Amino acid sequence: MDGNVDSLKGCNILSYLPTTSKSVFSWLFCNLDLFLFLGSVKGFSTQSQQCTYDVRSMCKPTLGTALFSTISFLLGAITSVLSGFLGMKIATYTNARTTLEARKSVGKAFIVAFRSSAVMGFLLAANGLLVLYITINLFQMYYGDDWEGLFEAITGYGLCGYSMALFGRVGGGICWIVQHPSYLPTTSKSVFSWLFCNLDLFLFLGSVKGFSTQSQQCTYDVRSMCKPTLATALFSTISFLLGAITSVLSGFLGMKIATYANARTTLEARKSVGKAFIVAFRSSAVMGFLLAANGLLVLYITINLFQMYYGDDWEGLFEAITGYGLCGYSIALFGRVGGGIYTKAADVGADLVGKVERNIPEDDPRNPTVIADNVGDNVGDIAGMGSDLFGSYAESSCGAPVACELCWNYRFPVHDVVDSCRTGAATNVIFGHASGYKSVIIPFFAIAVNIFVSFTFAAMYGVAVAALGMLSTIATGLGINAYGPISDNAGGIAEMAGVSHRILERTDAHDAAGNTTAAIGKGFAIVSAALVSLALFGAFVSHAGIQVVDVLTPKVFIGLLVGAMLPYWFSAMPMKSVGSAALKMVEELRRQFNTIPGLMEGLAKPDYATCVKISTDASIKEMIPPGALVMLTPLIVGTLFGVETLSGVLAGALVSGVQVAISASNTGGAWDNARKYMEAGASEHARTLGPKGSDPHKAAVIDDTIGDPLKDTSGPSLNIHSQFLIKLMAAESLVFAPFFAAHGGVLFKLF
C-alpha cells in the first residue's frame, strides 16, 4: 500500500508538468502560430471567398477559419489532457486493487485489471466523441452549409490531441531532467520558448505583406523602394537571435568576474579597507566597460553585416535591427525574475528564522540558507543587471531611448522610520510606506522637466538624442551597481570564514558603501525605463501610422485602464512567488535547527543543498508567468484590439509603472536602511534604541524582511519589474508595429 501511495504522489507531481511552464507557455505559442499560419494565407481576409472544391459556392472568410481552427486546437488540447488525467487516475487506483486481488487468485486479479482497462477505454472514447460532436454542432451555427470551411476548422481538434499525446509519451522518458533543475533554464524552457519566439517574430513580420519577396515602396520616403517584407522578417529574427546570445554572454561574463572578485576582496580586507576597495571597484569597473563594449561591438558588427544587403534602405535596416534590443530585454527579464526569487526566498527565510528566532548574525555559516543567498546575489544583481543594462544600451542604440540617474537622500526618512520602531512593527510599516510614497515626487518632477526640455528643442528626436547621451555612461553605471553585490558577498565570505572582528568591520564598511552604490544603480535603471519607453512609444506610434493618440476614444481609454493595471499584476506575481518559496524555506530551516544535533553550537554542518534546491525550484518555476504576461500582452492586445488600444496600454503602463517602481523600491530601502542604522550603532540616537535582539531591533528586522521582496525581488527591485514591463512591452510593440497596423483589431473586424 505504501508503494501505491508513492505512485499517487508521483502522479500528482507529474500532473503539474503539463500545466505549468513548458506546456502552457509552448501551447499558447502553438495556438498563436496556428492562427498566424492559417490567417496569413489570404492576408487575414474578412471577406467571403470562392470555395476550393465547390467553385459554385462561397466559403467563409480566411480569418474566421483561422480563428475557429485555433479554437478547435484549444478544445483538442483540453480533451487530450483530460483523457490523460482520467486514464492516470483510473490506472493508479487499479494498481493497488489488482495487487490485493492477486493475493486471492489469478482470475480475480485479471477481472479487476480487465474491467478497469475496459472502463478506461470506453470512457476516453466517449469523452473524445462527445466533445467532437458538441464542437461540430457549435461551429455549424457559424458555418451553415459551408462544409468545406467547417471540416477545415475541425482539423485542429485532432492536431492538438496528437501534440499533447506526444508530450505525454516523451515526458515520461525525460522525467529525470526535472530532478536536475540546473538543466531546465538551458534546455526545455529557454530553448523551446526561444525557438517559438523566433518563429513568432518571423511569422508576425512576414505576414504583413503575405511573405512578399518583391521590393515595395518605403513608408517614410515614398520616392524610394525598400527591401521585401520577407527579408525584413528574416533579418529581424536573426538580430533577435544575436541579441539573445549577447545578453546571455553579458550575464555570464558578469558572473565570472564577480565570483572571482568576491574572494579577492575578502583577502585584501585583511590588509586594509583601501586595498579591499580598490579590488572591488576595479572588478566592477572592468565588468562595466567589458559589458558595454560587448553590446556595442556586436551591434556595430550586426549593422555593418546587415547593410551589405540593405544598402541605402535605412528604413528596412533599422526595422530589422530593433529585434536585437528586444531579445536583450527578454533574456534579462528571466535573469532578473529568477535571480530575485532565488535570493529573496533564502534571504527572507534567513531573517525570520536566523535573526528573529535563533538570534544569529547575518551570513553566519550555521544558517543553511547562506550559500543560496550569496549565489542569488550574483545571479540577480550581477548577471541580471548585466543583461538588463545591455538591453537598455542595445535598444537605445536601435530605437534611440533615454536614461538618467536620480538619487534619493534618505537620511531624514530613515530617522523617522527608525524612531517608529520603538512602538513595534506596525508603526514602522506605516512610516516606511509614507516615505516610499513621498519619494515619488522629486523623481517625477525631474523626469517631466527632462522630457519637456528635450522635446522643446527637437520633439521626440530631442528626447532620443538626450537619451543616447545619458546612456553613454552605462559602463560607469554598471560598475557602480556591481560594486554593491561584490562587497556584500565579500562580507558574507568573511563571516563564514570566521575571520577576526576587525576584518568584519572593514567588510561591513564596504557593504554599507555598496548599498549606496546599488541604490544609485537602481535609480539609473528605473528612470532609464521611463525615458526609454517614452522614446520607444513615440517610435511605435510613428511606425504604426497613428496620427493622434486621443484618450477620449473608447479604444484608447480602455487601453489606458488596462495598462495602468498591468504593473500591479506584474508586481504581484514575483511577490507571491517569494512568499511561497520563503514559506518552504522557513519550514526547512526550522526542521534543520530542530533535527540536526549541534547545528546551533556550530558543531554540525547544515544541509545547504536542500535550501539551494528550494530556491532553484522556485526561481525556475515562478519566472514563467511574469515573462508570459509581458511577452504576450502586446501580441494579444495588438492582434485582437488594434494599434489604438495598444497605444493606450503602453501609455498607461508607462505612467503607472514608474510610480509603482519608485514607491516600492524606496519603501523597501527605507526599512532596510533603518535596520542597518540600528545594528551599526554609529550614533547616540541608534544606541538608545537597544542592541541586537531588542524589541525595536526585531521590529526593524521584520519590516526589513517585508521590504526585501519589495525592493529586491525579480532583482534587484520592483522598479526592475516595472521597467521590464514598460521597456519590453514598448520594444515588442515597436518590433511588431507593422503587423499590428496591417492585421490588428481582429475582434473589431469580426463584430
User: For residue range 707-725, what is the model confidence (pLDDT) as tens digits?
Assistant: 766 666 543 444 444 455 5
pLDDT averaged over every residue in the chain: 68
Q: Are residues 161 and 224 in the same domain?
A: no
- What's the rounded Cα separation, in Å, for the pair 603 and 565? 52
pLDDT value of position 2: 40
Q: Are residues 226 and 327 in the same domain?
A: yes
Whether pLDDT at 57 is above 80: no
Q: State the helix-helix crossing angle for 384-399 and 474-497, rounded to 10 degrees.
A: 180
- What's the rounded Cα separation, in Å, for the pair 608 and 590? 13
Q: What is the DSSP letter of 389?
A: H
Q: b vs e for 229-241, b when ≥16 Cβ sit within 10 Å of the residue's Cβ? A: bbbbbbbbbbbbb
Please give the grid coordinates belonging to residue 473: 555612461
Judge if the upstream peptide bond of residue 567 is cis by omega within 30 degrees of 0: no
pLDDT value of position 326: 64
- What's the rounded Cα separation, in Å, for the pair 422 and 151? 73
Q: Are residues 235 and 140 in the same domain?
A: no
Q: Are residues 220 and 170 in the same domain?
A: no
282 vs 97 pLDDT, higher one: 282
The answer to whether residue 676 is domain-embedded is: yes
Q: Are residues 37 and 148 in the same domain?
A: yes
- What's the rounded Cα separation, in Å, for the pair 657 and 531? 12
Around Cβ 480, how many Cβ atoms within 10 Å? Answer: 23
Q: Amino acid identity of 331?
A: I
Whether pLDDT at 298 is above 70: yes
The answer to whether residue 206 is domain-embedded is: no
The answer to whether residue 417 is domain-embedded is: yes
If you average pLDDT over each of 5-19, 588-602, 670-684, which comes out highest? 588-602
- What's the rounded Cα separation, in Å, for the pair 196 and 191? 9
Among left, alpha and beta (phi > 0; psi -120 to 50; other), residue 317 is: alpha
Q: Are residues 383 and 500 in the same domain?
A: yes
Model confidence at 12, in pLDDT bands (50, 70, 90)? very low
Please give the grid coordinates belonging to residue 576: 507571491
pLDDT tens digits, one per residue of 219-269: 555 566 666 667 777 777 777 778 777 777 777 777 778 777 877 887 887
Model confidence at 387, in pLDDT bands (50, 70, 90)? low
Structural domain that includes position 78:
2-179
Half-sphere exposure in the Cβ direction for 726 (13 Å, CA): 35
Model confidence at 313, in pLDDT bands (50, 70, 90)? confident
The answer to whether residue 190 is domain-embedded is: no
Q: State the helix-helix crossing angle for 501-543 and 229-269, rounded to 10 degrees.
A: 170
Run of H or E including 340: helix 314-349
Are 262 and 284 a contacting pair, CB within 8 Å? Answer: no
For 568-617, what is the HEC assignment?
A: HHHHHHHHHHHHHHHHHHHHHHHHHHHHCCCCCCCCCCCCHHHHHHHHHH
- What's the rounded Cα separation, in Å, for the pair 290 and 510? 23
Radius of gyration of the chain (CA): 29
Are 72 and 134 a contacting pair, CB within 8 Å? Answer: no
Domains: count for the chain: 2
Q: Are residues 458 and 355 in the same domain?
A: yes
The answer to whether residue 648 is domain-embedded is: yes
Q: Are residues 269 and 168 in the same domain?
A: no
- What's the rounded Cα separation, in Å, for the pair 536 and 319? 13
The answer to whether residue 490 is domain-embedded is: yes
Whether pLDDT at 406 is above 60: no
Whether pLDDT at 14 is above 70: no
CA dihedral 447, 452, 453, 455 (to 10 degrees): 120
Whether pLDDT at 16 is above 60: no
Whether pLDDT at 588 is above 80: yes
Q: Are residues 366 and 512 in the same domain?
A: yes
Q: b vs e for 84-100, b when ≥16 Cβ sit within 10 Å of the residue's Cβ? A: beebbebebebbeebee
Are 340 and 620 a contacting pair, CB within 8 Å? Answer: no
Taking alpha carbons only, the member of 430, 449, 482 closest to residue 671 is 430
Q: Are residues 261 and 141 in the same domain?
A: no
- What's the rounded Cα separation, in Å, for the pair 398 and 234? 17
**What pTM was computed for the model?**
0.60
Whether pLDDT at 330 is above 80: no
Q: Which of 179, 199, 224 is the last residue of a domain?
A: 179
Backbone angles phi, psi at 721, to 5 degrees: -55, -55
Whether pLDDT at 441 is above 80: yes
Q: Which of 150, 179, 208 is the last residue of a domain?
A: 179
The answer to whether residue 544 is domain-embedded is: yes
The mean pLDDT value for 503-509 works out to 71
The mean pLDDT value for 182-204 works out to 45
Are 299 and 324 a contacting pair, CB within 8 Å? Answer: yes
Taking alpha carbons only, the member of 502, 299, 481, 332 closest to residue 407 is 481
Q: Are residues 152 and 15 in the same domain?
A: yes
Around Cβ 273, how many Cβ atoms within 10 Å? Answer: 16
The answer to whether residue 194 is domain-embedded is: no
Q: Tell me which residue has cell 514602522.
A: 428
Are 492 and 346 a contacting pair, CB within 8 Å? Answer: no
532 vs 613 pLDDT, higher one: 613
Q: Tell me which residue has cell 493497488.
A: 96
pLDDT tens digits, one per residue of 116-173: 666 766 676 677 777 777 877 777 777 777 766 776 666 655 555 444 443 443 333 3
Greatest C-alpha distance within the chain: 94
Are 621 and 492 a contacting pair, CB within 8 Å? Answer: no
Q: Which of 132, 158, 179 is the last residue of a domain?
A: 179
Model confidence at 576, in pLDDT bands (50, 70, 90)? confident
Q: Are residues 99 and 161 in the same domain?
A: yes
Are 149 and 143 a contacting pair, CB within 8 Å? Answer: yes
Give percent of the chain with pLDDT exceeding 70.
50
Are 578 and 709 a contacting pair, CB within 8 Å? Answer: yes
Q: Tell me which residue has cell 473608447.
A: 554
pLDDT value of position 746: 66
pLDDT tens digits, one per residue of 442-492: 888 887 888 888 888 877 777 777 766 666 666 666 666 666 677 777 777
Please give the grid coordinates belonging to residue 343: 535570493
Strands 216-217 and 225-226: antiparallel
- Facing residues of 58 across strands? 50
